[in-house]
């Protein structure tokens, strides 16, 4: 799971005493939502470059935790406030969900360096088995030391 029940709970202090009561989902139900959103995140991350990392991420960056948490919190808010999907839903919850999903889409379309900035330029960021046959073999720059 990319976030924990406590991460979601911290973002919803108004529901602190209501988990599992009335329409407020139980801890188990919240964890189901977290798992579902983790799978959604993985489906977007798989579009980046499947050779860069394995899914699900063992040590996800904080950005992935925040996206998972925001998707889950927003979905719960939408369910709690309007379980039938009518017009009573909290518009800020829908905006939160849409913004988290948009961030995830942007990540999936960009380079993996947007997700793992520490890996840029490191050996771990290089792809094993990349085809280098199209790279020039002759020197691009020459150094004439006789003019120094």
Kindly state the tokens that stand for 138.
Answer: 């002759």
Kindly state the tokens that stand for 1.
Answer: 């799971």
Q: Which residues contact 20 (CB under 8 A, 6 or more apart)?
A: 26, 27
What is the predicted pLDDT for the residue at 114? 66
Q: Does residue 120 register a pLDDT over 50?
A: no
What is the predicted pLDDT for the residue at 138? 52
Cα separation, 74 vs 68, whole angstroms: 10
Average pLDDT over residues 19-27: 80
What is the predicted pLDDT for the residue at 85? 58
Give the orientation angle of helix 27-45 with respect to helix 91-109, to 10 degrees: 30
Other beta carbons within 10 angstroms of residue 97's beta carbon come to 19
- pTM for this predicted structure: 0.72
Digit-coded pLDDT (tens) for 44-79: 998 887 667 789 999 999 999 999 999 999 998 887
């Amino acid at each position: 799971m990319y976030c924990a029940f406590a991460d979601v709970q911290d973002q919803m202090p108004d529901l602190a005493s209501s988990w599992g009561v009335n329409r407020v989902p139980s801890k188990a139900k919240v964890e189901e939502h977290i798992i579902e959103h983790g799978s959604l995140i993985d489906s977007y991350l798989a579009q980046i470059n499947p050779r860069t990392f394995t899914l699900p991420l063992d040590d996800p960056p904080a950005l992935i935790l925040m996206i998972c948490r925001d998707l889950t919190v927003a979905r719960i808010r939408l369910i709690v406030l309007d379980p039938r999907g009518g017009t009573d839903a909290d518009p800020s919850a829908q905006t939160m969900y849409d913004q988290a999903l948009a961030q995830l889409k942007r990540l999936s379309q960009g380079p993996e360096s947007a997700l793992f900035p520490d890996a840029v330029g490191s050996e771990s960021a290089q792809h094993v088995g990349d085809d280098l046959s199209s790279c020039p073999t002759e020197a691009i720059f020459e150094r004439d030391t006789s003019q120094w």
